[in-house]
Amino acid sequence: MPVVASYVYRDGHRVRAAPLSEEGLRLEPGQFVWIGLVDPTDEEFDILVRRFRLHPLAVEDALAAHQMPKVEVYGRELFVVARTAARIDERIAYGETHIFVGEDHVISIRHGSARAHNALRAQLEASPGELKRGPDFVLHGILDFIVDAYSPIVDEVEDSVLEMEQKTLDAFLTRAEIRRLFTVRRELLKFRRILGPMEEATRRLQSLDLPCIDADVRPYFRDVSDHVQRVGARLGGLNDILSSVFEVANLLEQQRQGGITRKLASWAALLAVPTAIAGIYGMNFDFMPELHWRYGYYGALILMLTICTGLFVTFKRTKWL
């Protein structure tokens, strides 16, 4: 089995390793076991199902993955699904952590999450006064560890959004930059989609009345829920900024296209004047006095130049050229 770590604890201190066997998972009063797994198979998970009498529906969810954040109660057993997130290049990669919590055990199962719990385990083991609270405090630690990873992602996305906002104001966005805007916006929408259920799950943990959840630990879940809310609020602000960037980019593009249209219209008007004058005096009718005027040719040129100069000056003043 892909076991990352499996240890027995008493009074906040690690007692021994806990091999996944009937003998290895036998616990004495006052002890609990914390088992960490990564992508276990059905067969490999059977021993834990038998030993801790895990509910079949929870086991099915834990093995199938692709679950949204939730909290489910099965008798005296608690099953929690949390979504992990990590930013890779311009995209956010998501994973899942499924957690079984009982009075004497915590079983965490990671799917698609590259962020191991070794640092969290070391942190909790360094504070035996906290770890001795039991499995419910380990559950809080795992959820807090997962949610803490959200903020750096939001920081990076925020930097990208503000950078693109400044680029929008300084110059016209290229096609690649516009594509990047849409990518960031899509990733924000995906991220916000998991935050709602995550907040609901952590909020529910505050009011659960189970033997495996001590009343003294419930306020800690409120802290996790508040953290999720803050992340959600920041994402909402970033989404508003992105919407503004799209609006500004659209307005600037319309302005640019309008400027091009005005320039084309101005040059068309300048070219139309000599064309019209030349067309009129190119008709060769007998009864056109100017055709027999000695200075008619020069007069036509001067007329063209005068009108075109007047139009050019006017267009320059109105910033059409």
- The angle, 0 to 180 degrees and rounded to 10, between the axes of the packed helices 175-205 and 218-280 is 160
pLDDT of residue 284: 67
Rounded Cα gap, residues 176 and 183, in angstroms: 10
Rounded to 5 degrees, what angle do the CA atoms 206, 210, 213 make? 55
**Which H or E run contains 31?**
strand 31-38
pLDDT at 105 over 90: yes
Give residue-wise pLDDT tens across range 230-284: 999 998 888 888 887 777 777 777 777 777 777 888 888 778 878 877 777 676 6
pLDDT of residue 269: 79
Give residue-wise pLDDT tens across range 181-215: 888 888 888 898 999 999 999 999 988 888 888 88
pLDDT of residue 198: 92
What are the domain boundaries of the chain?
A: 3-252, 254-317
Q: What phi-psi label fits residue 265: left (phi over 0), alpha (psi between -120 and 50 degrees) or beta? A: alpha
Rounded Cα gap, residues 213 and 259, in angstroms: 66
CATH superfamily of 3-252: CorA soluble domain-like (3.30.460.20)
The pTM for the full model equals: 0.77
pLDDT at 290 over 70: no
The shares of helix, strand and coil residues in the chain, as percent rounded to the nearest 5, are 60, 15, 25
CATH number for the segment(s) 254-317? 1.20.58.340
Give residue-wise pLDDT tens across range 127-163: 888 898 999 999 999 999 999 999 999 898 888 888 8
Cβ atoms within 10 A of the Cβ of 93, count? 13
